[in-house]
């Protein structure tokens, strides 16, 4: 079995920075991901419970800011492109398989539960902070926004603070 190499993280970071600059140049906006999930949630709730979206302040404000279909957002297409690109990358590098990596000190059920809990908390935090790592922190820092720098410090500072408590799930 051949050992599949990953891209050098410094090169990957440099290339991500180039993608971010090109995105800002072409679209006038930075990268993002949590906004796509927000659009998907809004579209789902509009379909399932239209009376609720007509009454709730959050959906009314969202509709004012985004009068078109929520799924007609560039962030939705960006996330779809990321998923397709990740699939192609995994296919090319022969790393395309379903696997769940976790520490022998825990179970797959706890690992999945922890990942889902972390995802929900991060998504909630992204809504409170008006953006996620890519949308607020990375894109904000690219334009030297104080809010972007503070967001990046808060995200990574929080990760370092809590890593000790959850590290047994991975190592």
Distance CA 64, CA 57 (A): 11
Global pTM?
A: 0.76
> When comparing pLDDT for 124 and 4, which is higher?
124
Query: What pLDDT, on the 0 to 100 scale, is given for residue 87?
Result: 94
Exposed/middle/buried for residue 123 (C-beta within 10 Å: 0-12, 13-18, 19+): middle
* pLDDT band per the 50, 70, 90 thresholds, residue 33: confident
* pLDDT band per the 50, 70, 90 thresholds, residue 170: confident
Query: What pLDDT, on the 0 to 100 scale, is given for residue 3?
Result: 62
């Amino acid at each position: 079995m051949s050992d599949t190499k990953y891209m050098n993280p410094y090169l990957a970071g440099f290339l991500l920075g180039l993608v971010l600059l090109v995105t800002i140049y072409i679209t006038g906006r930075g990268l993002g991901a949590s906004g796509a999930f927000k659009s998907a949630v809004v579209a789902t709730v509009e379909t399932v419970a239209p009376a609720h979206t007509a009454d709730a302040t959050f959906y009314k404000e969202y509709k004012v800011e985004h009068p078109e279909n929520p799924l007609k957002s560039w962030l939705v297409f960006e996330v779809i492109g990321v998923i397709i690109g990740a699939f192609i990358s995994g296919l090319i590098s022969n790393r395309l398989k379903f696997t769940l990596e976790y520490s022998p000190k825990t179970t797959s059920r706890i690992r999945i539960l922890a990942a889902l809990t972390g995802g929900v908390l991060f998504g909630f935090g992204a809504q409170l902070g008006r953006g996620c790592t890519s949308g607020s922190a990375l894109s904000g820092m690219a334009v030297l926004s104080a809010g972007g720098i503070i967001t990046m410090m808060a995200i990574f500072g929080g990760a370092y603070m809590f890593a000790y408590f959850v590290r047994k799930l991975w190592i």
